[in-house]
Amino acid sequence: MCSRSQIISLFLALAFASASVSAQSTDRRSKPDSNKTDEFGHSLKQYGRSKRQKSPKPQPKASEPDDDSIRIETNLVAIDFMVANKSGSLIRGLTRDDIVITEDGVPQKIEMFSFANSESRPRSIVLILCNHLMQGPILETSKAATRNLIQLLGDKDEMAVVTSDMRVRQSFTSDKKRLYEAIDAVSVNIDDFNSEWDALLAVLNELFGESDRQRIVVFQGDGSRSIWLKPDGTEPIKISRSTRDRTGYPYGREKMIRPFGFRDVEDAISSSGATIYSVITFDRMLGKPSKEQLEIAIRNRTRIGQHYGWGDASDRPAIAEYYKYADVEIYLSGQSAMFAIAQFSGGYADFIENPADANRIYSDISKVLDNRYSVGYYPLNQERKGKTRQIRIEIRDHPELIVSARKSYVF
């Protein structure tokens, strides 16, 4: 049995990337394929300022780009949504006249309507692939799963690849070969103190341009670094101090706590108009009995130790036992947050618990994308105040039908 000091030492190796991991497991050399690579993440600098301005700025001239601008304004509010009955069957065949949209309770006139037609309204898809330390044992499975997404691209669709270490691996392209190559080049970044949430926020703020495309984010990872989001009262699970202490808080607070919270992520989703599909790696803990959650936590911690060769095999059970309660909170936080943002945006979440799940999950995503409606309207209230407006979509004369769509945006 290892002593507490040995456990702490082995933890520090896990938290700060022990040199026992070979250099070949870290991809530090290849440069992201984007003409804005050096700028990616610039919008995150606005968070944490003592007096953060939320009101919209005057738009800069085309010749004078504003590095702090996080969105391009357009009057058309475009929304993608799907409709299902109570048994979960998707509803097709609705027309413009069947849709009722209200904004802050005021009915709006629909100006644009289509159903599952990527030809008339192509898709801009960003894949965010988590490649931080904890993903080591499953990264290759995770990468292989994303190939299913590339295969589903339509002729007019485009896709970009971003990793959680804040690298644009591939800017928007329709070239599937380049997308495959970008994903194949991804490896674990053991030195990364960024998180998948940094990458998500930067993508929402920066990557989508001014075009009438469907905006889609496929967010693939465990979401576990949600424990480092700035507490703001909106996070799905409140993180205990003991969990933060056991995951390195006393040793790296300045690097770990993010300058933004869960509310900032929701605001960015509203501003961008993107729909998020969360693909969660590692075993599902949500909804499981506490005993089973602890078993999963021990299994995951042991698996990570085996993957990197940390400690003696005889010590790993004691280490996993020591961290099991914190690990349950960490994984529940990540999974809950990934579910919450998918629901908030009108998308959905699912789990890759084994390689066989990948085909099913991306087939389901494809099915949902091919059964979504798109509507657009010009808001009757044209006064820009940078405020959140509430949207409600209903099916006329069919209150029993369930509409999945984002519920707000910023104007």
Per-residue pLDDT of the chain (411 residues; tens, 9 = 90+): 444 444 333 333 333 333 223 222 233 323 334 334 458 999 999 997 644 444 343 333 333 433 333 333 458 888 889 999 998 888 999 999 999 999 999 999 999 898 866 566 788 999 999 998 888 888 888 898 888 889 888 888 999 999 999 999 999 999 999 999 999 999 998 876 678 999 999 999 999 987 778 899 999 999 999 999 999 999 999 988 888 887 765 455 556 789 999 999 999 998 888 999 999 988 999 999 999 999 999 998 888 888 888 777 788 888 889 899 999 999 999 999 999 999 999 898 999 888 778 888 888 888 888 888 989 999 999 888 888 899 999 999 999 999 988 888 878
CA atoms of 339 and 210, how far apart (whole Å)? 28
Class of domain 77-116+371-410: mainly beta
pLDDT given for residue 226 in this prediction = 93
pLDDT at residue number 66 = 39
In 271-401 the beta strands, taken as DSSP E runs, fall at 275-281, 349-352, 373-377, 388-395
pLDDT at residue 255 in the model: 67
Residues of the chain with CATH 2.60.40: 77-116+371-410
3-state secondary structure (DSSP) of residue 13: helix
| Token output for 123 | 């898709």
Q: Which fold has domain 119-369?
A: Rossmann fold (3.40.50)
User: How far apart (Å, rounded) are the C-alpha atoms in residues 273 and 304?
Assistant: 36
The pLDDT of residue 366: 83
Cβ neighbourhood burial of 119 (10 Å; 0-12, 13-18, 19+): exposed
The structure tokens listed for 381 are: 């209230």
The single residue listed with the structure tokens 């301005």 is: 53
Question: Residue 19 corresponds to which tokens in the numbers above?
Answer: 């040199």
- Both tokens of 395, joined, read 């099916």
Give the span between the Cα atoms of 18 and 22, in whole angstroms.
9
Name the H helices within 152-229. 176-184, 196-206
Q: How many CA atoms lie within 13 A of 282 on its CB side?
A: 30
The CATH 3.40.50.410 portion of the chain extends over: 119-369
pLDDT (0 to 100) of residue 298? 93
Angle between helices 176-184 and 139-151 (to 10 degrees): 170
pLDDT at 32: 38
Range 19-25 contact pairs with CB under 8 angstroms and sequence separation of 24 or more: 20/308, 20/309, 20/310, 21/190, 21/308, 25/136, 25/187, 25/188, 25/190
Distance CA 97, CA 406 (A): 20
Tell me if the pTM is above 0.85. Answer: no
116: amino acid identity, one letter: A
